[in-house]
Amino acid sequence: MPARPHPRIAERALTPRYTFAEAGRLIGRKPSTLRRWALGHDRTYQGEPRHDPPLIRVDGEPQEGDRPLSFLNLIELRFLASWRQYISLPAIRAALDYCAKELRADRPLLDLEFKRHGRELFVEYEKQLVSANRAGQLAWPEGAVVLFAQLDYDQSEHAAFRWWPLGRERPVLLDTRINGGQPTTAANGVRTVAIASRLREGYDIDEISEDTAATPEEIRAAARVEGIRIAA
């Protein structure tokens, strides 16, 4: 029988525990980009000062060197990174503002099931697909991508608690109940940073497997999460 989620799963998901550097490694975007999305950005446009407000609400104190990002912040930034490949930031901002105001979503990226089609954002709301960046125009996107496929979600507490960053077929996960939510191998519970340290010291896969009990597949997945290239 699978373990039941901890009754305080929602609280754990909101606990600040990640730096922007860690988020950048897991998401595959520059930490400076994620910082701008999360904290906002001051810039100059045609000689005039401009401020781009943050796209999400950070759960911790955004001081330099701190760990301001919660597990849910990490997931929010992951969704933003996925959409940013196809959709402009103004369109994303318009969609989030619409859902926050009109659909009364406290955290739109997590409260509603967003879908992408072409250059528009769609959100599943009351069994209809709303084009969120066109002020609620109804639409039915073909081949919409469900970005929640990598998440395990506790229905009773309305909170995500586990993320499979490489997809469910690769044995690495982040679970708010295990190893402080840090990337961990799925079968044997070895932190990926421990595997990465051994790889950098020159240990081969067989030696690491014997030392940590992680399987070769887990070691390869851990290396990918940690940004280390190893032989196939």
Tell me the percentage of the chain whose pLDDT exceeds 90.
44
Is the pLDDT reported for residue 152 higher than 90?
no
Average the pLDDT over 42-70 and give the result: 84
Decide if 48 is inside a domain: no
Give pLDDT tens digits for 200-216.
999 999 999 999 999 99
Decide if 188 is inside a domain: yes
Structure pTM?
A: 0.81
Q: CA torsion sign, 145 to 146 to 151 to 152?
A: negative
Edge-to-edge strand order for the sheet containing 151-154?
151-154, 159-163, 172-175, 184-185
Q: Which residues pair with 184 in a beta bridge?
A: 173, 191
Is the pLDDT reported for residue 138 higher than 60?
no
Q: Which residues contact 138 (CB under 8 A, 6 or more apart)?
A: 128, 129, 130, 131
pLDDT range class, residue 117, cuts 50, 70, 90: low
pLDDT range class, residue 46, cuts 50, 70, 90: confident
Give pLDDT tens digits for 66-108.
889 999 999 999 888 888 877 788 888 888 888 888 878 778 8
- 65 or 188, higher pLDDT: 188
Locate tokens 């959100």: which residue? 123
Question: How many CA atoms lie less than 13 Å away from 194 in the CB half-sphere?
Answer: 16
Decide if 198 is inside a domain: yes
Tell me the percentage of the chain whose pLDDT exceeds 70.
82
Decide if 8 is inside a domain: no
Q: What's 175's domain CATH number?
A: 1.10.10.10
The range of the structural domain enclosing residue 184 comes to 164-226
pLDDT range class, residue 114, cuts 50, 70, 90: low
Is the pLDDT reported for residue 26 higher than 50?
yes
Is the pLDDT reported for residue 147 higher than 70?
no
Distance CA 200, CA 228 (A): 8
Q: How many domains does the chain have?
A: 1
Decide if 208 is inside a domain: yes
Average the pLDDT over 24-52 and give the result: 89
Q: Which residues contact 229 (CB under 8 A, 6 or more apart)?
A: 223
Decide if 128 is inside a domain: no
Cα of 70 vs its chain's centroid, Å:
10
Decide if 214 is inside a domain: yes
pLDDT range class, residue 7, cuts 50, 70, 90: low
Decide if 197 is inside a domain: yes
Average the pLDDT over 164-184 and give the result: 93
126 to each of 10, 19, 102, 112, 130, how far by Cα in Å? 24, 36, 13, 10, 10
